[in-house]
Chains A and B, each alone.
Chain A
Amino acid sequence: MRRFLFYLVPTAILVLAVAVMLSADWLKKPRSQAEDVGYYLVQLDGDLKEQSWTEAVANLEKLKTAWFTMLPRLQFSIERDEAVEINLNLARLRGLINGRSQAAALAELNEIRTRWHNLTQ
């Protein structure tokens, strides 16, 4: 039994460590629509293309809520700088929507989408 534990405990620690480090892929999947970052990225893309600025602001807020819900559970397995960059992208996007700058807002949104996609790559 002692010999079994001697091998089991380190193995369990290593498995747990790997699970924590690779958990982002699995944790990225939303458990509800309120935390579905991918869904709000698509919604926002539609809003910007149609220049529906009011809807765009509402969906941006929902996107931010979804992102900040996801962040605490993704933080152990992603790069800190990528998370910080997404925060900045969201702040810039808010300014671009307020300024009704469609092209720049779409570019910013695409950057967020790429960063979100690459977060666990």
Chain B
Amino acid sequence: MLNETLVVIVRGLIGFFSLLIFARLIGKQQVSQLTFFDYVFGITIGSIAASLTTDLTSRAWLHWVGLITWTVVVLLVEVITLKSRPLAMMVDGEPVILIMNGHIMEKAMKQARFLLSDLLGELRKKNIFDLAEVEFAVLETSGQLSVLKKSQYQPVTPHDLNLPTTYKGMSTELIYDGKIVEQNLTDLKLDHQWLTAELEKQGIKDPAEVFVALLNTQGELFVDRYRDQVPQPVDVSDYPGPN
């Protein structure tokens, strides 16, 4: 007999892994960086994968062909837009300047169908509550607003004060979830002996006690243990029951 539950499970697995592989193939932009086209693509292939799983009235193969067709076309469009700037502008659109030299560009606002309340709201999200502080505001193709404040409203940097600074790069994970990240240790030309000595300095005998250990570019080791030594943890919940 027809086992619909089993069919949905198998088709669900096919849909899930196909979607996972195709999404990885397309790239790994963050949701916040998606253009309108990327967004539509995401919804479409998600919808096709959902139909592939539960719409048993049509063969899984047809949905899968639809899925791969969209993926291939999007990949092609991505490759073409990489090579052709005019086509990239057609597909992804262009950033729009909404505030130029402190003046609101009403015509550009109208073209982008961006309301003044939207603009003020987006500025508030960036902690700008006074329009007079803004020199430039650009509506990116992802729909996000990039803002350049007038120079008198920008925070002072060490460069402004002619202060010398040391290099500060990315920290490297040496222990992750209680396990030593061997590759990072080797890349930094360090060994277990060094790590053990550093941990002992902080009273840790076993790397398994450590949740995460990060080495910054100044050579300082930041360690967070599983057993946090907080004298009186702050409870942010106002609910008396279990959290």
Known pairs A10-B21, A13-B17, A17-B18; A81 contacts B57 (CB<8 A): yes
Closest-by-CB residue of A relative to B18 is A17
Q: Are A80 and B57 in contact (CB under 8 A)?
A: yes
A68 vs B1: C-alpha distance in the bound complex, in angstroms?
6
Q: Are A75 and B17 in contact (CB under 8 A)?
A: no
A22 vs B17: C-alpha distance in the bound complex, in angstroms?
17
For B11, list chain A residues within 8 Å (CB). 76
Q: Beyond the given A17-B14, A75-B3, please list 14 additional residue pairs across the A-B interface where CB-CB is below 8 A.
A: A13-B21, A14-B18, A17-B64, A18-B64, A20-B10, A20-B14, A20-B60, A21-B14, A72-B3, A75-B6, A75-B7, A77-B60, A77-B61, A78-B59
A71: Cβ under 8 A from any B Cβ: yes
For B64, list chain A residues within 8 Å (CB). 17-18, 21
8 Å CB contact of A80 from B21, B56, B61: B56
Closest-by-CB residue of B relative to A121 is B59
Closest-by-CB residue of A relative to B64 is A21
B2: Cβ under 8 A from any A Cβ: yes
8 Å CB contact of B60 from A13, A21, A72, A83: A21
A75 vs B7: C-alpha distance in the bound complex, in angstroms?
7
A5: Cβ under 8 A from any B Cβ: no
8 Å CB contact of A83 from B2, B10, B17: B2
A1: Cβ under 8 A from any B Cβ: no
A17 vs B2: C-alpha distance in the bound complex, in angstroms?
20
The total of interchain contacts (Cβ-Cβ below 8 angstroms) comes to 52
Secondary structure at the A interface, as helix, strand, loop or mixed, is: helix
The smallest C-beta distance from B4 to any residue of chain A, in angstroms, reads: 7
A21 vs B1: C-alpha distance in the bound complex, in angstroms?
19
**Contact indicator per residue, chain B 89-133, by CB within 8 Å of chain A (1) or not (0):** 000000000000000000000000000000000000000000000
Q: Are B21 and A76 in contact (CB under 8 A)?
A: no
**Contact indicator per residue, chain A 1-45, by CB within 8 Å of chain B (1) or not (0):** 000000000100110011011100000000000000000000000
Closest-by-CB residue of A relative to B59 is A79
Closest CB pairs A-B (n = 10): A80-B56, A21-B61, A17-B14, A10-B21, A21-B60, A13-B17, A81-B57, A76-B10, A83-B2, A75-B7
B218: Cβ under 8 A from any A Cβ: no
Q: Are B59 and A77 in contact (CB under 8 A)?
A: yes
Q: Are B1 and A71 in contact (CB under 8 A)?
A: yes
Closest-by-CB residue of A relative to B65 is A21
Q: Are A72 and B1 in contact (CB under 8 A)?
A: yes
The smallest C-beta distance from B70 to any residue of chain A, in angstroms, reads: 15
The smallest C-beta distance from A84 to any residue of chain B, in angstroms, reads: 7
